[in-house]
Amino acid sequence: MNKDIFVIIEHLGGEVADISYVMLAAAREIAPALQGEVVGILLGGGIENLCQNLAADRVWLFDDPRLADYSPTTNLHILGELIQQHAPRAVIFGDTSTGAEVAAGLSARLDLPMVSACHSLTVGDQSLGYDSRICGGRIQVQGELPSPTALIAMVPGGYNPDSGRSAVPPPIERLAIPHLEEPPIRLLSYIQPETGDVDISRAEVLVSVGRGIQNQDNLEIVEELAEALGGAVCASRPVVDQGWLPVSRLVGKSGRRVRPKIYLALGISGAPEHVEAIGGSQVIVAVNTDPEAPIFNLAQYGTTSDLFDLVPVLTDHIRQARSERVA
Amino acid sequence: MNILVIVKMVPDLVEELAVDPDGKGLDPDWVRWKPNEFDDHAIEQAILIKERHGAQVTVVIPDMDGAEDAMYAAAARGADRLVKLRGDFTGSANNHALARALGKYLPELQPDLLLTGVQAHNDLDGSLGPLLAEFMGLPYLGYVAGVHLQGDKANVRKEHPGGVVAEMEINLPAVLGIQAAEQAPRYVAFSRIRQAMKTAAIEEQEIPHLDISGAAEVSLMKQVESGERAEMFAGDPDQVADRIVAVMRDHGIL
Amino acid sequence: MPIRETFWNVPHWAEIGQYLLGILAVLVFAWGMVRRWRRWRQGMAEQRFDRLGSRLAGFVVHAVGQARTAKEPFAGIMHLTIFWGMAALFVGTALATIDWDVTRLFFDFQFLIGGVYVVYELILDIFGVFLVIGLAMAIYRRYLSRPERLGNLPRNNLAWDDAYVLGMLVLLAVSGYLVEGLRIAVTKPYWADWSPVGNAIASVFLAMGDATNRGLHLAIWTGHALVAFAAIASIPFTKFAHAITVPGNIFFRNLEPAGSLAPAHYHSGPGVEEWRQFSWKQILDFDACTRCGRCQDSCPAYAAGLGISPRDLMIKLGAHVWSSKNGVGLHGSVVSDKELWACTTCRACANVCPAFIDHVGTIVDLRRYLVDQGRMDATLQEALANLMRYGNSFGQSERMRARWTQTLESKIKDARREPVEYLWFVGDFASYHASLIETTRLTAQLFQAAELDFGILYEAERNAGNDLRRVGEEGLYEMLVEKNAANLSRCEYQAIVTTDPHTYNTLKHEYPEEINGRPVLHHAELLADLIATGRLKLSRKLGYAVTYHDPCYLGRYNEVYDAPRRVISAAGCKLIEMPRHGDQALCCGAGGGRIWMEEGQIKERPSEARIREAAELEGVQALVVACPKDVTMYKDAVKTTGYEGRIVVKDLVNLVHEAL
């Protein structure tokens, strides 16, 4: 029986998506106990350069101009044949706009069990287990993934993506593209996001300010922090009420709900109307000099440092970390 | 043009959730069901297409508490046919089971286009749309936020992360997983819902057997601990900044 | 013997001409009035011919006595003098006509002779002075002092209408006196002293000689006649019409309590889509508006810059009814969604209107259409969806409604299961709003301290629906009433008490069948009663100064002004009134569903203006309120105005609890 873990690598616009590293990290962790290898699988056109830092034991490449544009039916076809041929122990997809539909389609087509919203994987004695979070993250579900082959759609949060990166490029094998029919789903074009005011409901990193910012001039240091992080500035009610930021930046019951990876709450007390709109954040880090502030009940991390002392220092650290990473 | 919208009832997260004593599922006494928010958008998208191109919109919902209210609201918005699926959907029924059952019955309705929400928060074995499409042998595209019909094809906008949108073309008949309708679901005045209660007819379709294979088994379900306080970082700004940067690294920012 | 020399110096042809023109003027007037009446008739039916006695009484007090107009000193005197001046002169002319054309012709006598006549002359001269004073005040006010509410009209030609009316009256008054003066200058009657003004004017013209004066007299007399007939003929077509439409509007006013909204009419849908779906009385409302602007001055939404003026709304609707394009595009072109949603339904406008126009009823009817069409902002939509699903606007589970009771020492009776004397209808805000729950518990403790036999509905309670009706979601309101009524009917109770004035209002006025005539009390009334009868003993006198804000739905709508003040005084606080108190109280801005809507572009929140008003009272430490929405609005406003530390917001319950 094949004990390998297939990881279906996601990429968009010439970059490997972060979720791919999370999946690789997960695969890396369970592969040894299963005594299998981590196989990264990429479909696309002209994508060999994307394989360089994948922490896989080997990479299988389906590289063809016909695959340059994402088409779910084509992926279903190619991956379906591949999985049937090799019967790996597990196939990990991203629970995303491109991974989720292919995973489910394959589950139905190949009659293979599937689990979605998967946060982490565990290995027991010859068994492979999953840990998923559903119902807005309020319910945790665990169970066993049956053999011979299980499909997993994974969400971020359970693994550090760095563990899925490798300094050494993995060996690459180019696989033959099977016969492809004219796909019933075709890409026409990409529409890049507008450069108008930021849509904070789509941002991955948000730096949010509350009453603690005290006045409009102090927003400058916050803007710098947001810029260093590649994120956007948003705010709770009092700041927008004062007119220091436009309503489009309001996070709260009367503003927007946000689902960033990181929500940095500066000087926000955590009023219910605000807090209910940030529950979708993966990680909330709260900075508030009041240790009893309600925001600390929701945030995973916090500090009572004065934000005026902390923010410039944090900006420096981040700029440094970024330049280190690029190098 | 025949449009089907499949609506799933999901646990209302406003209520407190409780897990069954046997630890395998949600306690049915505590769960209150409401239509999946994304399915609501699917209904809205269907109505928009109907207003634009003319179509018959049929809404299909499994029989659970609150399903009838949801159907009357859909009728008040403009749905033409309402179908209630009769079977046991509250227990171990999962998306695979529902998709199989629908896959057998829906072809009778000869749909040109099937819309359903791209996901539901109680999905554990993948979402309904792609499973259903596969069981019906139809193409599927998810995360759709905009549908325009062009003869026997549909032009759709598919959302990717980072605000990138792909304009794609799909042959009909097909199944689409709706992320967002082109406009927010409209408000329906209660007097119109009352009116629908009087005039709309709900058809019933018996689903004799639900085949739940295809999902992984659940050995334990529990509530995630809430009300835990944050892990606090202390020290001077440098030390705190270090910890925060580490957190960001862990989550792939940096 | 003093006698009225009617038609002195007037040649025969002029006399005939006067009668002919007079008849013509009256015919034009009649035709104009019929035309108006036919417009009103195009509206929907409405029963306003009941209780004629009350209607007549109100007519006397408000149309004749003009009690509301008189509430403002300057404008009041101005209008009363014009009104009584014209009334007297009109009666005088009528008497002269009867004297000359009826009694003289048919009965061979005149009564305007001798003593009667000279007194008649004196009275008319005096009232003529009133008229002139009033007109002078009016001209000063409109063109020199220029108060804001008279300006900035939505349509330019209206300023000409205003000028026309004043101008014609001035011409009439001046020409009238001149004619009298010229006559006296020539005829020099020995009773001229009985016309002091005319006499004084005569002395000016004496020097000009009889021939000139006779010529002048005839000319001015002719002019006076022409102006008068033109004015009469123009009544239905100009602002003069208010002399008929306003008394009519007052007579046909709504006699139901203010807190009881008219139910929705369903045409193609509920509410008003085009103007003929208003009732005839609402259309008369638009016609009766004299653009005095008092409504605008009292409107909190207008002051906040939310884009609504009740005055402009009436003007625009009035014009729309007459414009040739009517029947098309009322919503969105004549009235905007934004201005309709800006209203807090506080009723300051309708309360102050001297013509008894019901702005609020019209706005609600227009809102009903908007709701039916789903035209509202996203936050309101969410609130309504929550109300539909959970029976409260907070989007919280029904099961959580009574969670606030969990930390109480002694359990409150469950009115669903056992009989109670007082059924306490708690209300959404008091049950669900995190910062108000403590006050709700205090209220429970007070009731328990008074050994009151009370209970609550626990999870069976739903939003009473007052603001749903005012928002225009009549269908949802009916659904909630059904649910509440069904639950109430299963309970045994003697009276209902509530801490929320909105709940109070609808339970009292719009739920009657369900409650079967049982009294509905606001907690202010109940507390006042409990304190007065000694059941609640206050041992402390608090001693500090406070001011009190009259909630719209308790004060202006239901005239409960005393009870809360008695409670405050019983607690030993010194009450200093804000300038706008009682029925002049300034709305906090939360009513009419506004608390469920996006705030929008706002100049200054009504709640902030109110806090400033309170903080300006020296020595006042607390603003006392009697409505949970007021508590949240004003606490927020204290923070945003930076008055933290200067003034605190307390509910009556807090006060009583402190004084226990």
In tens, the pLDDT along A243-294 reads 788 877 888 755 677 889 899 999 998 876 687 778 778 899 999 987 777 7
- C267 or B84, which is more confident: B84
Residue A283 lies in a domain: yes
Question: According to the model, what pLDDT value does residue A272 have?
Answer: 67
Residues of B with Cβ-Cβ distance to A105 under 8 angstroms: 130-131, 133-134, 140
| CATH code: domain of residue A306 | 3.40.50.1220
Class level of CATH domain C394-531: alpha beta
Average pLDDT over residues C618-641: 91
Ranges of residues in chain A whose predicted pLDDT is under 50: 195
Is residue A232 located within the same domain as residue A100?
Answer: no
* Cβ separation B124–A104 shorter than 8 A: no
Average pLDDT over residues C172-201: 92
* Cβ separation C374–B16 shorter than 8 A: no
Is residue A168 located within the same domain as residue A251?
Answer: no
Is residue A20 located within the same domain as residue A167?
Answer: yes
Average pLDDT over residues C324-330: 73
**Closest residue in chain B to residue A132, using alpha carbons only:** B124
Q: Which of A132-136, B30-34, C54-58, C461-465 has the lowest mean pLDDT?
A: A132-136
Q: Which of B140-149, B214-223, C189-198 has the lowest mean pLDDT?
A: B214-223
Q: Which domains does chain B have, with CATH numbers?
A: 2-206 (3.40.50.620)
Question: According to the model, what pLDDT value does residue C426 have?
Answer: 96
Mean pLDDT of chain C: 93
In a 13 Å sphere around the CA of C9, the CA atoms on its Cβ side amount to 21
Q: What is the pLDDT of residues A144-181, one digit of tens each?
A: 998 899 999 998 778 888 899 999 999 999 999 999 88
Q: What is the pLDDT of residues C504-524, one digit of tens each?
A: 999 999 997 778 789 999 999
Query: What are C's interface residues with B at a Cβ cutoff of 8 A?
Result: 266, 269-270, 371-372, 374, 376, 378, 381, 384-385, 388-390, 395-397, 399, 473-476, 478-479
Give the pLDDT band of residue B20 (cuts 50, 70, 90).
Answer: confident
The Cα A22–Cα A261 span in angstroms is 14
Is residue A129 located within the same domain as residue A11?
Answer: yes
- Domain(s) labelled CATH 1.10.1060 in chain C stretch across 261-372
Give the pLDDT band of residue C144 (cuts 50, 70, 90).
Answer: very high
Of B124, B130, B229, the CB nearest to A117: B124
Identify whether the C-beta of residue B33 lies closer than 8 Å to the C-beta of residue B59: no
* Cβ separation C379–A254 shorter than 8 A: yes
**Closest residue in chain B to residue C479, using alpha carbons only:** B190
Is residue A160 located within the same domain as residue A30?
Answer: yes
Question: According to the model, what pLDDT value does residue B162 have?
Answer: 57
Question: According to the model, what pLDDT value does residue C587 have?
Answer: 96
Residues of A with Cβ-Cβ distance to B175 under 8 angstroms: none
Give the pLDDT band of residue B225 (cuts 50, 70, 90).
Answer: low
Closest chain C C-alpha to B193 CA, distance in angstroms: 9
Residues of B with Cβ-Cβ distance to A136 under 8 angstroms: 13, 121
Is residue A46 located within the same domain as residue A111?
Answer: yes
* Cβ separation C396–B193 shorter than 8 A: no
Question: According to the model, what pLDDT value does residue C614 have?
Answer: 95
Is residue A170 located within the same domain as residue A250?
Answer: no
> Residue C66 region, left (φ>0) first, then alpha (ψ -120 to 50), else beta?
left
- Look at residue C309 and tell me whether its pLDDT is greater than 90: yes
Identify whether the C-beta of residue B123 lies closer than 8 Å to the C-beta of residue B158: no
- The CA dihedral of C615, C616, C622, C624, to the nearest 10 degrees, is -100
Number of domains in chain A: 2
* Cβ separation A98–B242 shorter than 8 A: no
- Look at residue C166 and tell me whether its pLDDT is greater than 70: yes
Class level of CATH domain C538-659: alpha beta
Of C384, C395, C473, the CB nearest to B14: C395
- Going by C-beta distance under 8 Å and a sequence separation of 6 or more, which residues neighbour residue A198? A232, A248, A249
- For residue C553, the Cα-to-chain-centroid distance in whole angstroms is 14
Mean pLDDT of chain B: 91
Query: Which residue, among A79, A33, A80, has the nearest Cα to A60 in the 3D structure?
Result: A79
The Cα C138–Cα A314 span in angstroms is 68
| CATH code: domain of residue A58 | 3.40.50.620
Average pLDDT over residues C6-34: 93
Whether the link from the prior residue into A148 is cis, omega within 30° of 0, is: yes
Q: Which of A45-59, A132-146, C360-374, C431-445 has the lowest mean pLDDT?
A: A132-146
The Cα B24–Cα C88 span in angstroms is 91
- Domain(s) labelled CATH 3.40.50 in chain C stretch across 394-531, 538-659
The Cα C469–Cα C511 span in angstroms is 12
ipTM computed for the complex:
0.87
Look at residues A124, A158, A174 and tell me which one is the last residue of a structural domain.
A174
- A295 or C281, which is more confident: C281
List chains adjacent to chain A, taking adjacency as at least 3 C-beta pairs closer than 8 Å: B, C
Question: According to the model, what pLDDT value does residue B92 have?
Answer: 67
Identify whether the C-beta of residue C135 lies closer than 8 Å to the C-beta of residue C166: yes
The Cα B32–Cα B16 span in angstroms is 9
CB burial of residue A326 (10 Å; 0-12, 13-18, 19+): exposed
Give the pLDDT band of residue B226 (cuts 50, 70, 90).
Answer: low
Question: Domain range spanning residue A225?
Answer: 200-326
The Cα C147–Cα C137 span in angstroms is 13
CB burial of residue C200 (10 Å; 0-12, 13-18, 19+): middle
Residues of B with Cβ-Cβ distance to A98 under 8 angstroms: 160
Residues of A with Cβ-Cβ distance to C434 under 8 angstroms: 272
Is residue A121 located within the same domain as residue A240?
Answer: no
Question: According to the model, what pLDDT value does residue A238 have?
Answer: 79
* Cβ separation C434–A272 shorter than 8 A: yes
Residue A54 lies in a domain: yes
- Going by C-beta distance under 8 Å and a sequence separation of 6 or more, which residues neighbour residue C203? C185
Interface test with A, best of C437, C596, C599, C608 (most A CBs within 10 A): C599
- Look at residue C158 and tell me whether its pLDDT is greater than 60: yes
Phi (first) and psi of residue C263, to 5 degrees:
-65, 165
Q: What is the pLDDT of residues C224-250, one digit of tens each?
A: 999 999 999 999 999 999 999 999 999
Interface of C with A in 381-440 (CB under 8 A): 434
Say whether B6 sits in a helix, a strand or coil. Answer: strand
* Cβ separation A301–B247 shorter than 8 A: yes
Is residue A145 located within the same domain as residue A261?
Answer: no
Average pLDDT over residues C324-350: 89
Q: What is the pLDDT of residues C571-611, one digit of tens each?
A: 999 999 999 999 999 999 999 999 998 777 788 889 999 99
Is residue A123 located within the same domain as residue A19?
Answer: yes
- Look at residue C639 and tell me whether its pLDDT is greater than 60: yes
Is residue A156 located within the same domain as residue A242?
Answer: no
Query: How many CB atoms are closer than 10 A to CB A91?
Result: 28
Look at residues A174, A208, A235 and tell me which one is the last residue of a structural domain.
A174
Residue A187 lies in a domain: no
What is the b/e burial string over B72-106, where b = at least 16 CB atoms within 10 angstroms of the residue's CB?
A: bbbbbbbbebbbbbebebbeebbbbbbbbbbbeeb
Closest chain C C-alpha to B46 CA, distance in angstroms: 18
Query: How many CB atoms are closer than 10 A to CB C579?
Result: 9
First-residue to last-residue Cα distance in chain B: 49
Q: Give all strands (DSSP E) within chain B, no chain letters.
A: 2-6, 9-11, 33-35, 56-62, 81-86, 113-117, 140-150, 153-159, 165-171, 174-178, 202-206, 220-223, 231-232
Phi (first) and psi of residue C522, to 5 degrees:
-90, 155
Residues of A with Cβ-Cβ distance to C379 under 8 angstroms: 253-254
Query: Which residue, among A303, A35, C464, has the nearest Cα to B242 in the 3D structure?
Result: A303
pLDDT > 70 fraction of chain C, expressed in percent and rounded? 99
Question: Between 3.30.410, 1.10.1060, 3.40.50, 1.10.287, what CATH number should domain C261-372 receive?
Answer: 1.10.1060
Question: According to the model, what pLDDT value does residue C233 have?
Answer: 97
Question: According to the model, what pLDDT value does residue A251 have?
Answer: 87
Residue A186 lies in a domain: no
* Cβ separation A254–C640 shorter than 8 A: no
